[in-house]
A and B are shown apart, each in its own frame.
Chain A
Amino acid sequence: DAGITQSPRHKVTETGTPVTLRCHQTENHRYMYWYRQDPGHGLRLIHYSYGVKDTDKGEVSDGYSVSRSKTEDFLLTLESATSSQTSVYFCAISETTGPSGNTIYFGEGSWLTVV
């Protein structure tokens, strides 16, 4: 299994509060991603990073920000949580070279409920 750790794994928070999800990898992969999974929508890309301090938006980035200060850590912040952000969040990593090149590996997910 790819060395990806997400924290927290489960969280309940109130509307309007900030929330930060953390993704930590031990594979030294260059690319890191945050996806959300919702019924009827599959997985949708929120933000991704192609290096330290290099990030870009995905298809559903509104209301989310990210930071990557170290290769191994990628943080996703919900600046002011809303009920529509109740979802399962998956971190993923990839590398472009080597035997696993161009393959994306996923963490185990973080279940977030906004009440």
Chain B
Amino acid sequence: GDSVTQMEGPVTLSEEAFLTINCTYTATGYPSLFWYVQYPGEGLQLLLKATKADDKGSNKGFEATYRKETTSFHLEKGSVQVSDSAVYFCALSLNSGGSNYKLTFGKGTLLTVNP
């Protein structure tokens, strides 16, 4: 079945460090790919998405490129801030028939950024 594997955390960085969170997927078709962020005590917010191969999603300084050849969608940010501390989820969405879209999530990566 469809699955998402993301690097296990926790990840701890100093402010202004470079961030990479790896995400790879397995899917039977051509999925859309997403990164969601969850701040403490809150729901999940869409961070960025890409719907086809070689698309780059970007938002708030975060970027991820849909790589079909490596089935990957790694999240990157050039300079993290304390306010980026959160749990990050990689996810895929695939049409399972009848225009029905469901998300399959990775298990999440906790990022802590220290001042």
Query: What is the interface of chain A, defined by CB distance below 8 A to chain B?
Result: 31, 33, 40-45, 48, 50, 58, 90, 92, 94, 96, 102-109
Cβ B108 vs Cβ A102 within 8 A: no
Cβ of B68 < 8 Å from any Cβ of A? Answer: no
User: Are B43 and A48 neighbours in the complex by a CB distance under 8 Å?
Assistant: no
A102 pairs with B105, CB closer than 8 A: no
Chain B neighbourhood of A92, CB < 8 A: 103
B98 within 8 A of A: yes
* Residue positions of B touching A, CB distance < 8 A: 32, 34, 36, 42-46, 49, 51, 89, 93, 98-103, 105-108
Instruction: Give which listed residue, B43, B45, B99, B102, contacts A45 with CB less than 8 A.
Output: B102
Chain A residues with CB under 8 Å of B106's CB are 42
Knowing A42-B89, A109-B42 are in contact, say whether A104-B101 is a contact too (CB < 8 A): yes
Question: Shortest Cβ distance from A68 into chain B, in angstroms?
Answer: 14
Q: How far is the CB of B75 from chain A (nearest CB, A)?
A: 16
